[in-house]
Amino acid sequence: MKVTYSSNNSGGGWWLTDENWLALEEAGWDVKWVAEEKFFKDKLEDNERWLGALAKEASKTFKTVKAAMEEFEKVTGQSVTDEGCNCCGAPHSFEWSTKESKFNYASGDDCATYLYGDEGSLSKRELLERLK
């Protein structure tokens, strides 16, 4: 299935560096460089950046969403479960389609369910209770 990563300017800054985007591309992700996107053509700074970013989105085919998230973390050094700031939202989000459901989406803490199964949906309190 094709999994698409989307970056969000959370907390007033982009969480992925230029090197992160280049590393994703090197790992086989199809990076959508803003300079090549029609929507951004008249909004670019220095003919290549939009609000300081070289890219906002990347896609790749995976067998599972978990595999996509794990590879993303390995390649970028970022955590898909980061929540970001209260007003801007999570810095990382993923979307994909399956035969059963046309549109699926996860960002921030919601990504934990895909990484850890049912245990990923437990609250912090439930997890702490298990540690007792």
Strands (DSSP E) found in the chain: 2-7, 30-33, 55-61, 92-96, 104-107
According to the model, what pLDDT value does residue 101 have? 79
pTM here is 0.88
Sheet with 2-7, edge to edge strand ranges: 30-33, 55-61, 2-7, 92-96, 104-107
Q: What angle do CA 101, 2, 9 make, to 5 degrees?
A: 95
- Tell me if 106 sits within 8 A of 90, measured CB to CB: no
Please identify every stretch of the chain with a pLDDT value under 70, giving residue numbers as ranges.
120, 122, 124, 127
Residue 49 has what pLDDT? Answer: 87
Give the pLDDT confidence score for residue 98 in this predicted structure.
83
Give the CA distances from residue 80 to residues 37, 56, 73, 123, in Å, rounded to whole numbers and listed in that order.
25, 15, 7, 17
Look at residue 117 in the predicted model and tell me its pLDDT.
Answer: 81
